[in-house]
Structures are given as C-alpha cells and as structure tokens.
Amino acid sequence: MDSLGATGAGAAIALENLFPPLPSEVILPLAGFTASQGGMSLGAALFMTTLGSVVGALALYGVGALFGRERLLAVAARMPLVKVADIERTEAWFARHGTKAVFFGRMIPLFRSLISVPAGVERMPLMTFTLLTTVGSAIWNTVFVLAGYRLGEDWERVTDLVGVYSKAVLGAAALAVAVFVALRLTRPGRGRRRASGP
C-alpha cells in the first residue's frame, strides 16, 4: 500500500470485484491506515477505491451484457437441477427490485460482485447502474476506509468484525442453495420457456 498508494488501492478493489476472494474488508481499512500515516491522502483513498469499485462492476456488467438473455436461457436449459422457469422468475424479480438489488448489493460480501452480471444481462440502463454502483460503493468504502483511518495501528480490528458479518452472509447463501437443491430434487422438471420479448 505504501509503494502503490491510492492508485494501487483502487486497482486492488477493481480486482476484488472480478475475484471476490480478494477481501475488500482488508484492502479498505489498510488504505485508511496508510492515509492516517501520511502514505496517501484520505480523499485520494476514498476516491480511488470507489473508482476501482465502479470499474470492476462495469467490467462484470459488460460480461452480463455480452452473455445475454438467450445464451443464459440456453445454458440454464442444459444445467442439472435448474429450470428455465428459475431464470425467468429471477428476471421478473430483477425487473421489480433491480435498482435496490444493485444499490444494497454493493454492501454485501460476494453479492457486490455477482449483482453486476444480472444487471448486464437485463440491460439495466448504464447510467442508472453506474450511479447506483457509485453511491453504494462510496458508502461501503467510506465506512471501511474511515474505520482504518480512525483505528490507526488497530485497523485489523475492522476485519475481525466484518469477518462475522461475511460468515453470516455466506452461511445464509449456503442454506438457500441447500434448500433450492432439496426442493428441486423433490420437484423435478425442466420448466417452460416463455417467448422472448421484442
């Protein structure tokens, strides 16, 4: 962090979007701590990490947009335990709650990366996606950068607290997957594909 400065912190956060195992919960407080020691300005840390979040999210949005709905449905039709109807229900849910999902998803571990893909598949207006991603990312990043800035040498305490939050989120996701698989095994079927829109 000392050698790469705010630009390096932003690049690390951009990569964290593409490779979720890279933990923003470590990168952001460390950037704040480095700012407290004079290694970079606090403003630069906040700006560059938020820019990195947006760049990474836009890359995944592009992946979703290139993949597209038809290809997604074709893949879903060949996947075990997945019905085309599952994808269509997800589309309907995203149509109703997509803006909230993108905004709040930026503050949930793992999902802050994944939520960009369906936004691209569903072709959420790019300006809307970028605005929601910027605001949501700015809130998340500011909390952690400021925590590292305020805690100074004790910045690692932030990662301990967030570790509990992350484990709870991942545990809930694992439970949801287990319930999905159990229901699918007891209710087999491929589901029906509705006609594509114009």
Token digits for 167?
């484990």
pLDDT of 12 over the 80 cut: yes
Q: What is the pLDDT of residue 175?
A: 66
Q: Measured in Å, how far apart are the chain's first and last C-alpha atoms?
A: 49
Question: CA dist 48 to 13, 57, 95, 152, 188, Å?
Answer: 9, 14, 31, 20, 48
For the question of whether the overall pTM of this predicted structure is more than 0.85, the answer is: no
Token digits for 60?
């995944």
pLDDT of 193 over the 50 cut: no
* More confident call, 94 vs 49: 49
What average pLDDT does range 164-189 have in this prediction?
A: 59
Distance of alpha carbon 139 from alpha carbon 131, whole angstroms: 12
Angle ∠(187,193,194) on CA atoms, nearest 5: 130
What average pLDDT does range 32-39 have in this prediction?
A: 83
pLDDT of 63 over the 70 cut: yes
Q: What is the pLDDT of residue 195?
A: 43
* More confident call, 192 vs 102: 102
